Structure 1
Amino acid sequence: MFTIRRVCRRNRPAPVKVTVDSAVDLPIPAHFRCPISLDLMKDPVTISTGITYDRQSIETWLDAGNRTCPVTKQEIKSLELIPNHTILRIIQNWCVENQSLGVERIPTPRIPATQVEVSKILMEIEKASREGDLIQCGKLVKKMNVLGRESDRNRRCIVAIGTTSGVLSAAFESFASASEDNYAEGMEEILSMLAWMFPLDEEARSHLLSQASLHWMVWFLNCGNLAGRRNAALVVKELASSSEQQVLDSLTEIEGLIEALFKVLKEPICPMTTKASLMAVFYFVSSPTSSSKTASRFIEIGLVPLLLEMLVGSDKSVCEKALGVLDGIFGWEEGREKAYNHALTVPVLVKKILRVSDLATEFAISALWKLCSNYRGEDGGFLVETLQVGAFQKVLVVLQVGCSEKTKEKASGLLKLLNANRMSGECNDSMDFKYLKRPF
């Protein structure tokens, strides 16, 4: 690989050299350099003023809102960037001629997708889907996905066309309605594209919320490859994020969806899939419109012990989401009963206070408050156990260092409940306070 070295001179551009090794300095011809970066151009393009720049440099300039040519200061009348194939070939030949000095040939860049090209493919996808030609539809979807994988610029171009997610979702519904296993590849291509098009528009949501589409979503969660399961989890999370009663009902009424999400959490395949599944479950159990039936199904299949065990060794992001789900689950009596009977409940929740993040602390305190305020045991055993692991001191510190008003209210209520059961046997781990900043 070569590096660029600049030597400053007054009143003229700095001569740039390609340093191949410690012994050889190879000057770069001036017309090979981008006027903006002064580096060797890898993808030369010409703008309306006739000046050639490296594509990345001029795109950055234009994306910043500039509409004048950096060299001529003239107004850029067209944002079209025309590839300069002539200068590219000359640069490539120069690189080949100097290969003996360690210079690597610049590969021919792929031509970026244009909105005209993308719009044409979308129209063909829509037509093929409408006519039931799903084989052709699958080929076109794959073609568009290939464009998206080539570069972030192509993805932005695809997303910029507002109808993209709607057309792709309609195609997904057409594939799903056909119920043919050999269409799974086409649907997988669509899921992988939708995963970087969030938030989805209303048209896309309506197609994906159809019975056929959701049944196939469950299939991908259960039987898809790693990418398919991940993308299905991401799409389900996106659909559930609306928290609308009708949407949540449509999702939870699909046979096997709750069990599929639970399976993904129990048998994790990657952090992204785990986090997406946790967020989907969070929307199901924490939304104001959540039904007891949905929460009960998650509780029955073992969600509470699974999350408590997951919290023992999870990272920050997973920990926050798992605590959020538990906080939602503990709003239901069945969920609290599972927690009262699990040995990890108290030590895990108290341990996470002040240890992970402010958000995790708020969820942990809220969960403890729900458990303690609804405990009906005559011996006060759960409250005593909470005191014995140092909850009183940690919650008191949370109030002292500051928290949200909502958390402050719950923390104060929790302290009152614990104070009535304080015993001489309470203790705390001093390591829980080592990250707190001293006020002096």
Structure 2
Amino acid sequence: MIWTWRLRRGGGRRRTGKNHQLDLKVTIPPHFRCPISLDLMKDPVTLSTGITYDRENIEAWMEAGNYTCPVTNQALRSIEQIPNHSIRKMIQDWCVQNRSHGIERIPTPRVPVTGIEVMEILSEIMDATRHEDQSKCKDLVMKLKVKGEESDRNKKCIKANGAVRTLAAVFNAFAAVSFQKYEVLLEEILSTLMLMFPLDGEAGLTLGSPDSLRCMVWFLKNGDLSTRRNAVLAIKDIISMDKEHVVEAFARIEGAKEALMKIIQEPICPTSTKASLMVIYYMVSSSLTSTDNIRSDFAEMDLVSLLLEILVDSEKSLCEKALGVLDAICCSEEGRQKAYSHALTIPVIVKKILRVSDIATEFSVSIVWKLCKNEKRDDGGVLVEALQVGAFQKLLLLLQVGCGERTKEKATELLKLLNLNRDRCECIDSMDFKDIKRPF
């Protein structure tokens, strides 16, 4: 079989007298192709059996648990992969010779990092940490970061040799001394750690210490956009491992709640906004004795208004997180009062029922249920408003299409409350279900 690249000269079209397109066939020499993928090799390496493969393909073969040569089926005496510079140079020369056909020269691959190199760098980092040598430590961390950014293979190797635990320990050590004095170094460590998320348990516990958390809160308030983003992503990752312990420590840090609010008020990117909402959700939905106070604090900061603004026009993932936070906030009296006072609360939340996802519907029903059940006004203002925006129809449809048991109980109770107030207003059909026959 002849393996070829079909290429089009001059951007892809060459007209003949009959307006036919001329296809050119460029044959790839067989010894330039990887025996595994049959594609042109970009980083040829030779095994102990003497067979040359593309590095990416043979590494995937070995990672799958295969320790034989795919071509000869011989057991590998060594898993060392020796770069085949001769073949690589020949492939590059061939690419240059055929560049008129649109073939690009493959770049010279970088030599991948080894486990020994990683451990040597980490050892030097720890030594620099013991001497509080910020400059040397920063240079070594940057060296590690550069190698990790070169390829996924390097990133895996760095992580597999304990870099995450070491960097977390170094971050905590310098943060404990002075995160303002060592700000540049700590920012570099945090940026390097971002390459290796999610963190493992030991690293998470280390970064969950009061000193490290205080440093990250300081970054949230004073760092540049990149540092603030990295800090909130790190906090989210740390809290997700040990919610109760870390939430309690984080909530006690002065300015932590305000820093999270700043991320939402002044968005950096969707990822950081979602991370901030997740951290707030962990804080307002925990079982700590201080949770009610945390909910009240966020309500006083006008988080409810921010959440409703997000819900007006947001994609699925962001919408789910905002609804989850609002549902937890509405467990407090202060949160409900803020929701009652906002004109968009009921229209926006009812609109989200059956519009986003199952989890969004559950949160939406729960919010409406909490607001209606705990309303203290005699005129039933929230119930009447819910009727006017089509809550009755949506809840009936929700029971027909099915939902979780807890959501079903709340929807049923809401329907009973709404039914008592149907004679007090003229219900407006929901635009989402305008063609559905009304059941009354």
- Structures share a fold, TM > 0.5? yes
Aligned partner of 1:184 in structure 2 is: 183
Question: Structure 1 vs Structure 2: percent identity of aligned residues?
Answer: 56
RMSD over equivalenced CA pairs, Å: 2.1
After TM superposition, the structure 1 stretch with the greater mean CA deviation from structure 2, 250-259 or 421-430, is: 421-430
**Structure 2 residues without counterparts, runs of 5 or longer:** 10-21
Q: Which amino acid aligns with 1:74?
A: Q
CA offset digits 1:333-386 (Å, max 9, x no partner): 111111111111100100111111111111101111111121222221111111
After TM superposition, the structure 1 stretch with the greater mean CA deviation from structure 2, 303-312 or 80-89, is: 80-89
CA offset digits 1:19-50 (Å, max 9, x no partner): 46346433222211111222211100112322
SS at match of 1:39: coil
**Distance of 1:182 and 1:244 partners within structure 2:** 30
* Contact 1:285–1:325 under 8 Å retained in 2: yes
- Structure 1 position 17, deviation (Å): 4.7
Which structure 2 residues correspond to residues 102-121 of structure 1 after superposition, within 5 A?
Answer: 102-121=102-121
**Distance of 1:412 and 1:173 partners within structure 2:** 51
CA offset digits 1:142-195 (Å, max 9, x no partner): 11111111112211222223x322211121123323436463332222222333
**Distance of 1:433 and 1:140 partners within structure 2:** 64
Aligned partner of 1:6 in structure 2 is: none
After TM superposition, the structure 1 stretch with the greater mean CA deviation from structure 2, 81-90 or 390-399, is: 81-90
Q: Which amino acid aligns with 1:256?
A: G
Which structure 2 residues correspond to residues 62-81 of structure 1 after superposition, within 5 A?
Answer: 62-81=62-81
**Distance of 1:92 and 1:214 partners within structure 2:** 50
Q: Which amino acid aligns with 1:429?
A: S
- Give TM-score scaled by structure 1 length: 0.90
Q: 1:25 to 1:173 in 2, by over 3 A?
A: same
**In the comparison of the two structures, how many residue pairs are matched?**
422
After TM superposition, the structure 1 stretch with the greater mean CA deviation from structure 2, 297-306 or 79-88, is: 79-88
* Contact 2:4–2:25 under 8 Å retained in 1: no
Asked if 1:390 corresponds to 2:390, the answer is yes
**Distance of 2:192 and 2:433 partners within structure 1:** 44
**Distance of 1:199 and 1:55 partners within structure 2:** 26
Aligned partner of 1:96 in structure 2 is: 96
**Distance of 1:229 and 1:338 partners within structure 2:** 28
SS at match of 1:241: helix
- Structure 1 position 431, deviation (Å): 2.2
Q: Which amino acid aligns with 1:75?
A: A
- Structure 1 position 409, deviation (Å): 1.9
Aligned partner of 2:315 in structure 1 is: 315
Aligned partner of 2:325 in structure 1 is: 325
Q: Which amino acid aligns with 1:292?
A: D
Which structure 2 residues correspond to residues 14-413 of structure 1 after superposition, within 5 A?
Answer: 14-17=2-5, 19=7, 21=9, 22=22, 24-161=24-161, 163-179=162-178, 181=180, 183-242=182-241, 244-289=243-288, 291-413=291-413
**Distance of 1:403 and 1:390 partners within structure 2:** 19
* Contact 2:128–2:136 under 8 Å retained in 1: yes
SS at match of 1:45: strand
CA offset digits 1:51-102 (Å, max 9, x no partner): 1011122223233333332211222343332211121122222333444554
**Distance of 1:258 and 1:288 partners within structure 2:** 18
* Contact 1:148–1:154 under 8 Å retained in 2: yes
Q: Which amino acid aligns with 1:368?
A: V
* Contact 1:165–1:197 under 8 Å retained in 2: yes
**Distance of 2:353 and 2:117 partners within structure 1:** 53
**Structure 1 residues without counterparts, runs of 5 or longer:** 1-8
CA offset digits 1:187-235 (Å, max 9, x no partner): 2222223334344334323432333322221222122222211111111
- Structure 1 position 425, deviation (Å): 0.8
Q: Which amino acid aligns with 1:359?
A: I
Aligned partner of 1:426 in structure 2 is: 427
**Distance of 2:87 and 2:347 partners within structure 1:** 67
Return structure 1 stretches of 4+ with deviation > 6 angstroms: none
**Distance of 1:244 and 1:101 partners within structure 2:** 58
Q: 1:100 to 1:308 in 2, by over 3 A?
A: closer
Q: Which amino acid aligns with 2:4?
A: V
**Distance of 1:378 and 1:133 partners within structure 2:** 68
Q: Which amino acid aligns with 1:64?
A: A
